[in-house]
Amino acid sequence: MDDPGFQRLQRLVRQHAETSRLLGVDFVPAFSRQAPASLHAQPTLLPPKTPTPVPPLTPEVPKQAQVAAPTRIDPLPKATPAGKPVEATPRTGGTKDRAKAQLALDELKARYEHEAPHKQFVTAHTRIVFGEGDPIARVVFVGEAPGEEEDRTGRPFVGRSGELLTKMLVAMGLAREQVYICNVMKTRPPDNATPTATEIAICEPYLREQIGIIAPEAIVTLGLPAARALLHTQESMTKMRGRWRTYELSPGVVVPLMPTFHPAYVLRNYTEETRGQVWSDLCDVVEKLGMPRPVRAKPANG
């Protein structure tokens, strides 16, 4: 088949399968090497190693979000408290806690909508993208700002970056519904511009409160602006990435924070090195949560 569009799609599908494999996902659709993958063929799904009820991922169809809508899923059990008085106390994970936290998040969202801090600067938004996930998640992922797809749906990380983030979570042994995902900025900037220091300063108190309600045991920042916003630093990504830092929730109360690359950066710099670095950071997070360290899939050709 010489159709360049078809070849591009084939490349995209292969690239995504490869990413998933490198991130340790072992149930991506498997295509035969002899027969070219047909766009319309049904992929063979290999069973997942763990019985976690994770929605199956399908090969990318350009311009179409593959991120499943939130569904009920068992929350991650909380680890035994680490006993470090300086770290935010993990919640017990009881139904009451969850309901209470959800209520507090709903109230905060309503307050954000009412106060509309984004009116103080120029945005290109149609919807506020507040955040989603388990209100008492053990780990919170913080990105920069909503993009086009996020603005359209009102949900964080549902475009191409979101699709990769979902795969990263699966590789870690987590489902989207078991973590909390949000952004520093709750509204889409014009031309997806990097938020300014002033814009971040205006929005950060809401993020701080949001994280305070969830009281996670770890935070993962995705990309440089999110890491800089939470850590109040101008350090480079090279210096920060892969090293545990602390986010000061309130005086004397800190949450461990792992800065890693933004999925969009990984997609733009699609090298084994970049993917390996993100994978190493995520494994450190898994370890911090006391979960079994996932095994990274070996390359198909050795």
Task: Return residues touching ligand URA (CB under 6 A).
Answer: 143-147, 150, 156-157, 159, 161-162, 183
Q: Please give the Cα distance from 181 to 285 (Å, whole number).
A: 15
Closest distance of CB 31 from ligand URA, Å: 28
State the SS3 of 2-27.
Answer: CCHHHHHHHHHHHHHHHHHHHCCCCC
Tell me the Cα Rg of the chain. Answer: 19
- Which residue lies nearer to ligand URA by CB, 148 or 287? 148
Q: Please give the Cα distance from 155 to 271 (Å, whole number).
A: 28
Among residues 301, 121, 289, 282, the alpha carbon closest in space to that of 217 is found at 289
Q: How far is CA 98 from CA 75, 133, 183, 278, in A?
A: 10, 11, 21, 30
Q: Minimal CB distance to ligand URA: which residue?
A: 143
CB 75 within 8 A of CB 134: yes
Q: Specify the DSSP class assigned to residue 140.
A: E
- Which residue lies nearer to ligand URA by CB, 26 or 134? 134
Which structure tokens are listed for 57? Answer: 């991922």
Closest distance of CB 163 from ligand URA, Å: 10
Closest distance of CB 132 from ligand URA, Å: 10
- Which residue lies nearer to ligand URA by CB, 76 or 145? 145
**Helical residues (DSSP H) of 46-133, grouped into ranges:** 95-115
Pairing of strands 218-222, 139-143: parallel
Closest distance of CB 144 from ligand URA, Å: 4
Closest distance of CB 268 from ligand URA, Å: 12
Q: Please give the Cα distance from 7 to 265 (Å, whole number).
A: 24
- Which residue lies nearer to ligand URA by CB, 178 or 187? 187
- Which residue lies nearer to ligand URA by CB, 31 or 180? 180
- Which residue lies nearer to ligand URA by CB, 92 or 269? 269
Closest distance of CB 90 from ligand URA, Å: 26
